[in-house]
Structure 1
Amino acid sequence: MKGIGRKVLIFSEMFPKPKNSSSGVFVIERLRVLLRFGVEFDFAPVSTFDNLLIRLLKRLKGITPSAPIDIVQVEDKQFPVISISLRLKDRIGLLRQKTDSWVKYAERMAQTIERRKNMKEFGLFHAHRVFPEGYAAMLLSKKHDLPYLVTAHGGEIHSISNNNKTAVREVLEKAAKVIFVSKALMKDACEKLGYDKSNGIVIPNGVDTNVFKPIDREEARKKIGLPLDKKIVGFVGNLIEVKGAHRLPAIARELIDLRSDVFFIIVGDGPLMKLLREKMPTKNVHFAGRVEYELMPIVMNAIDVLVVPSRQEGLGTVILEARACGARVVGTNVGGIPEAVEDEGIIVQQSEDVERELARATINLLSNLCYSCSTNEFKKKWSWQSTVINEVDTYKQILKEYDPDD
């Protein structure tokens, strides 16, 4: 692929962390393909770190402070992490969703990036996530008279507080382009924020089908210690309410009541872990905790059905990963889940009985189990290469409109 003529500065807080190697993988996968395509870009991974007082308070509460991250490695390239120190007052303001705290944080992000990068090198800013990264991109755009685009991944739209709606809408409206990872997410932005979508396009996340591909299921189960004589149902994600983790005990109980040969595996960690350990059935359930991303293809090959009980979802990359490995999917009818599931599973409407309906849909798939495989059509539609080709075309379009003589 030919270059785009100008260098792009890409930045985000979302990238793999020591405690969560799956975090922001969808950003890193894009960068890998950009490197292979020879597109000229720089990446500014942004991270916050706690000052001495916050670290001391965490230790007093028995919380291990996060280890600082210095470098993000993508293929053979190393990108230094841009760290921003947060005081206790800053942290409290962000937790309380105070707009002025988030705006000040975005301002500090823009200023810190400016100090660490030579702005004269770039022709375009690309922020992954609308807020606060997109707000920082908007500030840099205004100061340096360069266009910016943002990719909306989900949480910054569907979980936005009322306090921050005006700021987020401003970022969307002033961007040269806004990329949404699903049609549903764009619709959500229109309905919640009054966004007119005139500069919006949909480019979904992808999946690496060279990594996520079918392997022998029995061998996969042996590698992670799962029973060979059970039907394996899995949940993969953060253990938070927006991901529907609070629904898992009711789903698991219904499943195990209906079929004694069901085994439930929960992959992930989060604030609901204690609740789940208390309320999940005591038999035929395994808590795997966070799993290194390199092991996720084995996990996806070990399960028969992936359950996605989310209350909101931008797209659901885990759905694509499961499908690429041949698993079927049951998910709620929210966000981009139906777009990712397509006809390789069952979509359940939100209702008071959603847990029971998810369980029954899972039983339906288990009773008529047939493993799908990644077809050429699937690979073409959902590959990271397709995603990045569309994003690079967007870069070219923006740069041409901004400087038609370039």
Structure 2
Amino acid sequence: MERLKIAFFCWESLYAERVGGLANAATNLAETLARHHEVHFFTRGEGGDAEINGVRYHYCRPAGGENIVRYCSDMSRGMIDRFAEFDTPSFDLLHFHDWHVVDVLRRLQERETIFTYHSTEFGRNGNSFSGGWPFSEISAIERYGASIAKHITAVSSTLRREAMNLYDIPDWKIDVVANGIVPGHYQADVDPGAVKRHYGFDPDSPLILFVGRLAWQKGPDMLVDAAPHLLREHADGQFAFIGDGQMRHGLETRARSLPVRFLGRLADAEYVELLNASDIVAIPSRNEPFGLVLLEAWSAGRCVVASDVGGLSENIEHGTDGVKVQPHPDSIGEGLSRVADSPEKALSMGREGLEKVKREFPWSRVAERMEDAYAKIAKHDTLLC
């Protein structure tokens, strides 16, 4: 593909404001594309500009707002101002990541644009609302972004279908471009017993690890409720929860009598150490558009017990590189017990997962698929002419 001048718009990145997996996905894609293209990344942060791993970062600091939608509108104005500083010569393509930057897309919709769904508002919060899912302001923004972008991608086939059904997106307009991983970032040579002891766990007992937001979508409550099932079969089981969120206080109360520790957010190095010291990684999500934690666990050679939903369902081969369960405490508990019953099989599934991420999820492969999506924009414009 010919060298392009590409602008990324994303409200988070690995080197400034980081909220969740979106920072990893957008940053790593930008850095991989920068090997062959000129890539500028417009995001939140302090200071003016920085060049990191070939990507040129341009920061803005929103003044704020009474809610997240108003905040993102203010952020978008800052991104537009910064974008104008670097639009000579003009950018060939503008890539927008998730709903936070749709207001920028609105202002630049006449350009060559692509919009990526990393999740939807329905997936994040849908059934957690009493009385069903309301078509919220954020959902309306997601629909509008899809309507005005020249092309769209989604990080899994499940998310593609979800977005098409929710927002009436035609089949020809949206492709699947999965996320990738750098396995070495999640590997560490650790003494598992010493790491467990450091966090107050029994060094000789199996440790089940949860990583993610303590929010309805990620299902941490179902994992807490599954713990008694595992403990009936394996009384020495113990659980570590990495992450924070609005459910934390209630979960701590719920788990008061259980061998469960809530560790909050950890530094990257601490997370990688605990990941490599764990015996099972549990991913009990109710909705998971892709599931970067799955690739992180596999990169560390860990066995996963994961809900049979979304990208998790698409990527796990049940019984070979992980165990798929229903998003219900009884099923999750049964899956955990099955893995704990056979440590050797668990190690084997972890090794299979590591081979899969090396084979199927390198960022170079993801970047090639995204370039194919970029090429469709130019092809579509040619046909219109």
TM range (shorter): 0.7 to 0.9
Instruction: Quote the residue 2:81 is aligned against.
Output: 112
What residue ranges of structure 2 are gaps of 5+ in the alignment?
A: 126-133
**Within 5 A, what are the aligned runs for 1:162-177?**
162-164=135-137, 165-177=139-151
3-state secondary structure, aligned to 1:81 = strand
Residue 272 (structure 1) aligned to one of 240, 247, 259 = 247
**In the alignment, what sits opposite 2:130?**
none
- Match in the other structure for 2:92: 123
CA displacement at 1:253 relative to structure 2: 3.0
Contact between 1:4 and 1:395, CA under 8 Å: does it hold in 2?
A: no
Q: How does 1:331-370 map to 2 (within 5 A)?
A: 331-343=306-318, 344-350=321-327, 354-369=328-343, 370=345
Q: Which residue of 1 aligns with 2:8?
A: 10
1:177-256 residue pairs with structure 2 within 5 A? 177-213=151-187, 215=189, 218=192, 221=195, 224-225=198-199, 226-256=201-231
Per-residue displacement from partner, 1:224-254 (whole Å, max 9, x unpaired)?
Answer: 5443211110110011111112323212233
Equivalent residue, structure 1, for 2:377: 398
Shift of 1:302: 1.4
2: CA distance between counterparts of 1:385 and 1:24?
A: 18
**Counterpart residue number, 1:132:** 100
Alignment match, 2:131: none
How big is the shift at 1:180?
0.6
Amino acid at match of 2:322: G
Partners in 2 of 1:339 and 1:198 — Cα distance? 21
Q: Does 1:323 align with 2:298?
A: yes
TM superposition shift of 1:208: 0.7
Q: Report the CA distance between 1:220 and its aligned residue.
A: 7.1
Aligned ranges 1:126-165 → 2 under 5 Å:
126-129=95-98, 131-142=99-110, 146-156=111-121, 158-159=123-124, 162-164=135-137, 165=139
Distance in 2 between residues matched to 1:208 and 1:219, nearest whole Å: 26
Greater CA drift, 298-307 or 395-404: 395-404
* Separation in 2, partners of 1:246, 1:120: 51
**Distance between the aligned counterparts of 2:222 and 2:44, measured in 1?**
33
Residues of 2 paired with 1:240 and 1:368: CA distance? Answer: 31
Q: 1:114 to 1:31 in 2, by over 3 A?
A: closer
Query: How far 1:287 moved relative to its partner?
Result: 1.9
Which residue number in structure 2 is paired with residue 45 of structure 1? 43
Partner of 1:25: 24
After superposition, the CA RMSD in angstroms is 3.0
Deviations, residues 363-398 of structure 1 (Å, cap 9, x unaligned) = 111112331225555312112221122212332443
> Match for 1:238: what amino acid?
R
Q: How many residues matched?
A: 365
| TM-score of the aligned structures, taking structure 2 as reference length | 0.83
Q: Distance between the aligned counterparts of 1:124 and 1:248, measured in 2?
A: 43
Which letter does structure 1 place at the counterpart of 2:368? I
Structure 1 residues 12 and 390, CA gap change in structure 2 (3 angstroms): same
Give the TM-score of the pair, scaled to structure 1: 0.79
How far the C-alpha of 1:256 sits from its partner, in A, is 2.5
Name the aligned partner's letter for residue 94 of structure 2.
F
CA distance in 2, matches of 1:232, 1:107: 43
